[in-house]
Chain A
Amino acid sequence: MELDFILSKEEEKPTGKTELIYDLVIIGGGPAGMTAAVYAARKRLKTLLITKDLGGQVLWTAEVENYMGYQYIEGRQLVNKFKEQVRHFPIDQEIGEEVEKLSKEGEIFSILTRGGKKFRGKTVIIASGKKSRSLNVSGEKRLIGRGVSYCSICDAPFFEGKEVAVIGGGNSAFEAALDLVKIAPKIYLIDIASSWSADPVLLEQIEKEKKVTSFPRHKVKEIKGDDRVESITIEPLDGGQIKSLSVQGVFIEIGLVPNSEFAASLVKLNQAGEVAVDCSNHTSIPGLFAAGDVSSVPEKQIIIAAGEGAKATLTAHQYLLRSR
């Protein structure tokens, strides 16, 4: 592996003030939240950005080739560019904080964090994006870090010479499998769908690999093991025989779910758990807006999330003007 040194842009931190009622509180610091923050600062809204991290999914994206202005840019470099732009503006930031509960008390939104802080705002933009989906099968949670992994680039090195399963049929599952081919003697690729959704280039590469055995149309029933993963049980969808595969690692790459739990009791979600929005980012609650991957906007892309973030702030600004 080539040795490189990665340094993210510094985060300036005028932190949140619990005594204030903010004009706008933005939850989430991915492309949607960061763009919303820049627009808010330019509209001179008293703004607080609360986020677990700055960058969101883009931090985990190796390369981006479809964000305008850059023919090619590494994900983390793009995040650095975003941060640079945000730090020019006087926005209060709570970075490393997770929002646990969003509620509305009268006309004012109340935002409670996992760290026990409570912030208030006249308007809120939910821009909390998505996170890895879990299988929800027995053994999965218990064996995280003991063979179950959601980050193949992080954890693949621990599975040298070991048999592993990759769950999923999209690009990230295929990329994980191709990564593991270099070190693992046997890789099972398991997906519930009957046809793979990965790009044709990746499909061709996988088909050439003799180490990879595929099980499309199979459902994972259980991950077994006392202290570490020992095997995985899978079942064909058409009712065939249940199989047990001996593996020491299970890489779960089955897509994403919206981070909307903290707002679930307040706002209307769609079937996928996304915050339902109209085309100006209004949600079912006046003063509450949503943008980017966490919202029901079709298509999840960086440029779309950024555009939605901008739009949400402009709509929130209009709302504040009207409600004055």
Chain B
Amino acid sequence: MALLKDEVQNEARERFKKLTGQVRLVNFTQKIECHYCEETRRLIEEIASLSPKISSKIYNFTLDKEKAQQYKIDKIPAVVVEAEKDYGIRFFGIPGGYEFNSFISAIYDVSRKATDLSVESKDKISKIDKPVHIQVFVTLTCPYCPAAVEMAHKLALESEYIISDMVESAEFPHLVSKYGVMGVPKVVINEEFGFEGALPETSFVEEVVKASKSTTEAKDEG
């Protein structure tokens, strides 16, 4: 049985009519030791079947080590939404529940290689010249969360220095306790900065710019 209900499939198909460029969904998975690995893989394949503009590639996290390293994937299930180029847009854990919105939005933006961020925001982001790693913690029952995830991914698309992850809290309890997540959305920037709650565009961009400036050293994400 399909994961996506007919009405959701239809709405997604409708949205995908506006895709312009090819999009590739790169999924890292394995059979065991992962709550929603199986469902995430099925979701990726179902989505790819809804539009000729979307293709999927499934890698085994343990066997395809090189690929995992190339994409810097350190946990699964993981999905990278990319085009000819990897923009640094990642989903860790299944993009289900409300997060399905941010997943479709990432596909749309990557396909069009453009975001609807304001000119002022784009200008500020273009001045970032050090690596920034944004992690947005979510739960699948959080109606406020997709806005934060979408914002983080738009920033990643606009800047080659930014990598943005959605992190589904239930799938990664060790990260929840590492970062002390007790409410979502929670945004962690370069390990040491962050904020709670969904911020409007201007404030979100400001936080990221601030963090990129105060990060002591350009560090690899990991």
A180 to chain B, nearest CB (A): 13
Point out residues on A near B: beta carbons under 8 Å. 1, 3-10, 13, 52-53, 59-60, 76, 96-98, 114-116, 144-149, 151, 153-155, 157-159, 227-228, 249
A104→B3 CA distance, assembly (Å): 52
Q: Is B128 an interface residue (CB 8 A)?
A: no
Contacts of B21 in A (CB 8 A): none
Give A114 to B121 CA distance when docked, in angstroms. Answer: 13
Asked whether any CB of chain A lies closer than 8 Å to the CB of B161, the reply is no
Other-chain contact of B182, A3, A9, A249 (Cβ < 8 Å): A249
Q: Give residues in B with beta carbon < 8 Å to A.
A: 3-5, 8, 11-12, 14-15, 36, 39, 43, 94, 96-98, 100-101, 104, 116, 118, 120, 139-145, 147, 169-170, 176, 180-184, 186, 196-197, 200-203
Chain B: which residue is nearest A229 at the CB level? B182
Chain A nearest CB from B63 CB (Å) reads 26
Q: Is the CB of B169 within 8 A of A157?
A: yes
Decide if A154 touches B96 in the complex (CB within 8 Å).
no
Task: A115-B201, A157-B169 given; name 13 further pairs at CB < 8 Å.
Answer: A3-B39, A4-B97, A5-B8, A5-B43, A5-B96, A5-B100, A7-B101, A114-B202, A115-B120, A148-B183, A154-B139, A155-B142, A158-B183
The interface residues of chain B lying within 8 Å CB-to-CB of A159 are 182
**Contacts A149-B183, A151-B142; A96 near B147 (Cβ below 8 A):** yes
> Is B176 touching A158 in the complex (CB atoms < 8 A)?
yes
Q: Is the CB of A4 within 8 A of B96?
A: yes
Complex Cα distance, B42 from A110, in Å, reads 51
| 9 tightest A-B CB contacts, nearest first | A145-B196, A154-B142, A145-B183, A5-B100, A155-B183, A115-B202, A153-B141, A158-B182, A7-B11
The contact of A153 among B142, B180, B186, by CB within 8 Å, is: B142
In the complex, are the beta carbons of A7 and B8 less than 8 A apart? Answer: yes
Indicate which residue in A1, A98, A146, A227 contacts B183 across the interface (CB closer than 8 Å): A146
